[in-house]
């Protein structure tokens, strides 16, 4: 298994409010860990929210007592509890600092178990994709107003991609109270790569071209650079972040 991450400010934004983390080494009881977070809020607040989320999640997991037996369900519980702790801390900070009010962050966090399962905790509109030899599939569900319209049959897929409110998030870390994360366990039979990314990538490149670039020749960093370049060539309207995990099939 190989992995790399890359983040870029994009063409139109002056500041990068995304944050990423990846390691194939153990973090606390987890065998590896991959994270993409897309901050939102004021000029500085989004950057603080995404970076604080990752730092607090790592601190929580690193300090968690190692168990003799840890199942995929245990991994997911640990990830969700770490995210809730981070969410509470971000919400508290936002309450204390006027310029940080309303800040929050998306979160897509993944653990690979023995190359056979992906355990994913997710909130917001950053995404996780599975890439096979001939297909790409989105593993997460966007927590957005536009996705709710799409699910209700009020707009089409084409309308959703260009909808003026497509960036309106319905769930995020940093919201006071209990944050509602989705948890997924994905079987990796036939999967060659996993891609975690912010909407600055997925809004700029359609699924067919995501698959084409991730499935192309070259190491993970080479393919990540191609993804960033393609997103910027298509407008680069937001910060662009991705973590690419090559399962070495």
Distances (CA, A) of 6 to 14, 123, 142, 228: 17, 20, 22, 8
**How distant is the alpha carbon of residue 161 from its chain centre?**
19
Distances (CA, A) of 3 to 108, 134, 245: 16, 21, 4
List, for residues 12-48, the tens digit of each pLDDT value: 999 999 999 999 999 999 999 999 999 987 656 889 9
Which pair of structure tokens corresponds to residue 181? Answer: 């994360």
C-beta atoms surrounding 150 within 10 Å: 17
Q: Taking a C-beta distance cutoff of 8 angstroms, is the pair 196, 122 a contact?
A: no
List, for residues 151-180, the tens digit of each pLDDT value: 666 666 666 666 666 677 889 999 888 889
Q: Taking a C-beta distance cutoff of 8 angstroms, is the pair 131, 211 a contact?
A: yes
């Amino acid at each position: 298994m190989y992995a790399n991450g890359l983040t870029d400010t994009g063409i139109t934004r002056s500041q990068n409010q995304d944050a990423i983390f990846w390691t194939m080494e153990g973090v606390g009881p987890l065998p590896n860990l991959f994270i993409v977070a897309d901050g939102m809020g004021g000029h500085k607040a989004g950057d603080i929210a995404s970076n604080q989320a990752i730092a607090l999640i790592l601190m929580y997991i690193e300090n968690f007592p190692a168990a003799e037996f840890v199942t995929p369900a245990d991994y997911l519980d640990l990830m969700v509890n770490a995210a809730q702790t981070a969410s509470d801390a971000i919400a508290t900070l936002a309450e204390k600092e006027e310029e940080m009010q309303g800040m929050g962050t998306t979160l897509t966090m993944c653990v690979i178990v023995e190359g056979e399962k992906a355990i994913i905790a997710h909130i917001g509109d950053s995404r996780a994709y599975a890439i096979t030899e001939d297909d790409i599939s989105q593993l997460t569900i966007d927590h957005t107003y536009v996705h709710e319209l799409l699910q209700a049959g009020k707009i089409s897929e084409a309308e959703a991609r260009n909808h003026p409110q497509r960036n309106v998030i319905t769930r995020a870390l940093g919201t006071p109270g209990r944050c509602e994360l989705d948890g997924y366990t994905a079987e990796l039979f036939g999967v060659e790569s996993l891609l975690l990314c912010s909407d600055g990538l997925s809004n700029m490149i359609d699924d067919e071209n995501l698959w084409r670039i991730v499935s192309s020749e070259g190491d993970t960093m080479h393919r990540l650079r191609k993804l960033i370049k393609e997103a910027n060539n298509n407008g680069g309207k937001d910060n662009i972040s991705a973590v690419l995990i090559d399962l070495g099939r």
